């Protein structure tokens, strides 16, 4: 049964560890990212000790993009992935950055414009579950640290596959499940003790960062997400564990 079907049966979903109405989740997630948008980059560096830059670099190395192609960055945040793809597609290519959250999208768009990325860049506020693009539009689609915040992940994966061109590639970079047992107690202490404290000290918002930690724990593990991508019609799906599985990059193709 798909995630959407389950939601229709129960009208409930997860917001971190809390069970909420499906209709309520989008608004709650929006409030979180409205709160953290202005400090998002600083907190990313603090939370990951700079590792998020290496994870994103690894993902960008597997886009397969060439000059002149078209790419889409879903839940694009502050534009790190979009900036990398703009370099890859060059002056004759195009990259669209989307986010459901207006505050995050504005930060990402403005940051890219400040870096001089004018040509080939578009920004569209949209829901990952219902992307407003024609079928077969993009050579590569990425979603980085955004899928876990989507209410209906099955619908989002299907929507992204629909927008891929035949031969196109989807990359999902997301927090996942540590595969090294020794990491688990350290990771738990960091996530539920240190991370909310950093949120309080830097962003004056412990609750939002507590939600982010909880949302990571509720996200499907590596094999489950791989199966969800296959169920969405993607082929040749695989994943790469990064930092001992704390993060995983999943890839799939549309043939």
Q: Is 39 exposed, middle or buried (0-12, 13-18, 19+ CB in 10 A)?
A: middle
Q: What is the pLDDT of residues 143-201, one digit of tens each?
A: 999 999 898 999 999 999 999 999 999 999 999 999 988 888 888 888 888 878 877 87
CB 199 within 8 Å of CB 193: no
Does residue 24 register a pLDDT over 80?
no
164 inside domain: yes
What is the token pair recorded at 205?
Answer: 């918002």
The strand pairing partners of 199, in sequence order, are none
pLDDT of residue 66: 98
| Main-chain dihedrals φ then ψ at residue 71, nearest 5 degrees | -135, 155
CB 110 within 8 Å of CB 139: no
Residue 106 lies in domain? 3-179+211-253
Cβ neighbours of 105 (radius 10 Å): 24
195 inside domain: no
pLDDT of residue 183: 85
Domain count, the chain: 1
Q: What is the pLDDT of residues 102-145, one digit of tens each?
A: 888 998 999 999 999 989 999 999 999 999 999 999 999 999 99
Distance between CA atoms of 123 and 113, rounded to whole angstroms? Answer: 11
* Range 78-83 average pLDDT: 93
pLDDT of residue 10: 56
231 inside domain: yes
206 inside domain: no
93 inside domain: yes
Q: What is the pLDDT of residues 89-107, one digit of tens each?
A: 999 999 999 999 888 899 8
Q: Is 26 exposed, middle or buried (0-12, 13-18, 19+ CB in 10 A)?
A: middle
Distance between CA atoms of 157 and 100, rounded to whole angstroms? Answer: 15
| Relative orientation angle of helices 153-163 and 3-10, to the nearest 10 degrees | 140
What is the token pair recorded at 240?
Answer: 């790469």
DSSP string, the chain: --HHHHHHHH-EEEETTEEEEHHHHHHHHHHHHHHHGGGHHHHHHHHHTTHHHHHHHHHHTTS---TT-EEEEET-TTSHHHHHHHHHH-TT-EEEEEES-HHHHHHHHHHHHHTT--TTEEEEE--GGG--S-TT-EEEEEEES-GGG-S-HHHHHHHHHHHEEEEEEEEEEEE---SSTTHHHHHHHIIIIIHHHHHHHHHS-HHHHHHHHHHHHHS--HHHHHHHHHHTT-EEEEEEEEGGGTEEEEEEE--
Does residue 236 register a pLDDT over 90?
yes
Scored b (16 or more CB within 10 A) or e, 222-234 reads: beebbebbeebeb
Does residue 245 register a pLDDT over 80?
yes
192 inside domain: no
Which CATH number covers residue 122?
3.40.50.150
Q: What is the mean pLDDT of the chain?
A: 87
204 inside domain: no
19 — pLDDT class (breaks 50, 70, 90):
confident
Does residue 235 register a pLDDT over 90?
yes
Does residue 254 register a pLDDT over 90?
yes
Does residue 223 register a pLDDT over 80?
yes
189 inside domain: no
């Amino acid at each position: 049964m798909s995630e959407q079907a389950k939601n229709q049966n129960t009208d409930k979903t997860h917001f971190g560890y809390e069970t909420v109405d499906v209709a309520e989740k989008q608004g709650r997630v929006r409030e979180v990212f409205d709160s953290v948008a202005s400090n998002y980059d600083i907190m990313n560096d603090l939370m990951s000790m700079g590792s998020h830059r290496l994870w994103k670099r690894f993902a960008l190395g597997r886009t397969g993009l060439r000059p002149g192609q078209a790419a889409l960055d879903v839940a694009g945040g502050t534009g790190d992935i979009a900036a990398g793809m703009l370099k890859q597609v060059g002056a004759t290519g195009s990259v669209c950055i989307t986010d459901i959250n207006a505050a995050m999208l504005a930060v990402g768009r403005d940051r890219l414009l400040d870096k001089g990325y004018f040509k080939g860049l578009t920004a569209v506020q949209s829901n990952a579950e219902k992307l407003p693009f024609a079928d077969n539009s993009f050579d590569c689609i990425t979603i980085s640290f955004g899928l876990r915040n989507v209410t209906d992940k099955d619908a989002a994966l299907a929507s992204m596959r629909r927008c891929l061109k035949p031969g196109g590639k989807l990359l999902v970079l997301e927090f996942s499940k540590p595969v090294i047992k020794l990491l688990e107690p350290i990771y738990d202490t960091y996530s539920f003790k240190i991370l909310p404290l950093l949120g309080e000290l830097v962003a004056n918002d412990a609750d939002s960062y507590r939600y982010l930690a909880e949302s990571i724990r509720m996200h499907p593990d590596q094999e489950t997400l791989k199966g969800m991508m296959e169920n969405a019609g993607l082929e040749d799906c695989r994943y790469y564990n990064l930092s001992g599985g704390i993060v995983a990059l999943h890839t799939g193709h549309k043939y």
